[in-house]
Amino acid sequence: MSHRFEIRVYYEDTDLAGIVYYANYLKFIERARTEWVRGLGIDQSRLKSETGIVFAVRRLEADYLTPARFDDLLTVETRLVEIGGARITLEQAVRRGETACFGARVQLVALSDTGRPARLPAELREVLARG
């Protein structure tokens, strides 16, 4: 199952050629990941305050496929690929209709408040696995 998040391309997202600046795709997929977690009922602020756990990107592989342009309505699809003790791997795709514009494989790691990897609580792993 995948989560879908819509985003409109604003003028500020584009470069002089009128296409989405490459780094902005990373912002788009970050927003989609946040909404995916929120949609699963996970309050990241409470998770941090109660357990000290935060998520950080450990690795990202990106493919720029077709440029998106000013005023395009894009859909970011997020799909869980794998979940481990402290790691989560996702695939994310940015599409304009049926056209794939950008794809990424993102590995997240759970970190403790000391910045060290932290094991995900079992109940949190279960919630993420359902998403």
Q: State how far the Cα of 75 lies from the Cα of 59, in Å rounded to an integer.
A: 22
- The catalytic position among 13, 15, 63, 113 is 15
Non-local (6+) Cβ contacts of 72 within 8 A are 8, 9, 20, 96
Query: Digits of tens for pLDDT over the chain (131 positions)?
Result: 799 999 999 999 999 999 999 999 999 999 999 999 999 999 999 999 999 999 999 999 999 999 999 999 999 999 999 999 999 999 999 999 999 999 999 999 999 999 999 999 999 999 999 87
In terms of phi and psi (left: phi > 0; alpha: psi -120 to 50; beta: otherwise), the region of 16 is alpha
Cβ–Cβ under 8 Å, residues 5 and 36: yes
What domains are there in the chain, each with its CATH number?
Answer: 2-130 (3.10.129.10)
Q: State how far the Cα of 66 lies from the Cα of 85, in Å rounded to an integer.
A: 35
> What pLDDT, on the 0 to 100 scale, is given for residue 96?
98
Query: Is 113 noted as a catalytic residue in this protein?
Result: no
